[in-house]
Structure 1
Amino acid sequence: MSQNEPNDDFPDDETLPSTDVSPREKPMGFLDHLEELRGTLIKCAVVFAIIVGVIAWFLKDFAFLLNWPLEHVRAEYPQLKTDLVTNSPMGVFSVVISICVTGGFVLSLPFFLLFLGQFIAPALTQRELKVLLPTVVAALLLFLSGAAFGYFILVPGTIRVAFELNELLGYTVLWTADRYYSLLMWMVLGVGASFEFPLLIVLATYMGLIEVATLKKFRRHAIVVMFIIAAIVTPTPDPINQTLFAVPLIFLYEAAIWASAFVGRRKRRDQTG
Structure 2
Amino acid sequence: MVDKQVRTRKAKKQRPAKTPDGRMAVMDHLRELRRRIVWALVFIAVGAVVGWFLYPHTLEFLRHPYCSVPEKYRVVSAGKDAPECALIYHGALDGFTTRLKVSVITGAIFTAPFWLYQIWAFITPGLRKNERRYTISFIAVSTVLFAAGMSLAYAVLSKGLQVLLEQSGYGTQAQLTINDYISFVTLMLVVFGAAFELPLLVVMANMAGVLSARILKKSQRIAIFLIFLFAAVATPSTDPFTMCAMAVPMVVLFEGAVLFAVVHDRRKARRKAIERAEQHLEDDEPSVVDPIPRSLPVAGDAWSDTT
Q: Which residue of 1 aligns with 2:106?
A: 103
Q: Which residue of 2 aligns with 1:65?
A: 61
Indicate the larger mover: 86-95 or 189-198: 86-95
**How far apart, CA to CA, are the structure 2 residues paired with 1:124 and 1:205?**
15
Distance 1:218 1:28, change over 3 A: closer
Q: Contact between 1:186 and 1:233, CA under 8 Å: does it hold in 2?
A: no
**How far apart, CA to CA, are the structure 2 residues paired with 1:175 and 1:42?**
37
Q: Which residue of 2 aligns with 1:219?
A: 220
**How far apart, CA to CA, are the structure 2 residues paired with 1:69 and 1:139?**
26
- State the Cα distance separating 1:28 from its structure 2 match: 4.9
Q: 2:52 aligns with which of 23, 34, 56?
A: 56
Q: Which amino acid aligns with 2:46?
A: I
Larger Rg: 2
Q: Contact between 2:228 and 2:247, CA under 8 Å: does it hold in 1?
A: yes
- State the Cα distance separating 1:70 from its structure 2 match: 1.9
- State the Cα distance separating 1:29 from its structure 2 match: 4.4
**How far apart, CA to CA, are the structure 1 residues paired with 2:265 and 2:226?**
25
Q: Deviations over 1:141-189 (max 9, x none)?
A: 2111111111222x122112123334x4321101111111111111100
Stretches of structure 2 that go unaligned for 5 or more consecutive residues are 1-16, 76-84, 276-307
- State the Cα distance separating 1:123 from its structure 2 match: 4.1
Q: Which residue of 2 aligns with 1:147?
A: 150
**How far apart, CA to CA, are the structure 2 residues paired with 1:150 and 1:141?**
14
* 1:130-141 mapped onto 2 (5 Å cutoff): 130-141=133-144
Q: Contact between 1:202 and 1:259, CA under 8 Å: does it hold in 2?
A: yes
Q: 1:164 aligns with which of 153, 157, 166?
A: 166
1:41 pairs with 2:37: yes
Distance 1:27 1:244, change over 3 A: closer
Q: Which residue of 2 aligns with 1:184?
A: 185
**How far apart, CA to CA, are the structure 2 residues paired with 1:165 and 1:23?**
62
Q: Which amino acid aligns with 1:205?
A: N
Indicate the larger mover: 142-151 or 23-32: 23-32
* 1:2-17 mapped onto 2 (5 Å cutoff): none
Q: Which amino acid aligns with 2:91?
A: S
Q: Which residue of 2 aligns with 1:116?
A: 119
**How far apart, CA to CA, are the structure 1 residues paired with 2:36 and 2:138?**
19
Q: Deviations over 1:178-218 (max 9, x none)?
A: 11111111110011111111122222222332332332222
Q: Contact between 1:201 and 1:256, CA under 8 Å: does it hold in 2?
A: yes
Q: Which residue of 2 aligns with 1:262?
A: 263
Q: Deviations over 1:4-44 (max 9, x none)?
A: xxxxxxxxxxxxxxxxxx97859754444444333322221
Q: Which residue of 2 aligns with 1:7?
A: none
**How far apart, CA to CA, are the structure 2 residues paired with 1:36 and 1:109?**
20
TM-score w.r.t. the length of structure 1 is 0.80
Distance 1:255 1:60, change over 3 A: same
SS in 2 for 1:85: coil
Stretches of structure 1 that go unaligned for 5 or more consecutive residues are 1-21
- State the Cα distance separating 1:231 from its structure 2 match: 1.1
TM-score w.r.t. the length of structure 2 is 0.72
- State the Cα distance separating 1:119 from its structure 2 match: 3.5
**How far apart, CA to CA, are the structure 2 residues paired with 1:35 and 1:219?**
41
Identity over aligned pairs, percent: 28
SS in 2 for 1:181: helix
Q: Which amino acid aligns with 2:153?
A: G
The RMSD of aligned alpha carbons is: 2.5
Q: Which amino acid aligns with 1:103?
A: T
Distance 1:208 1:180, change over 3 A: same
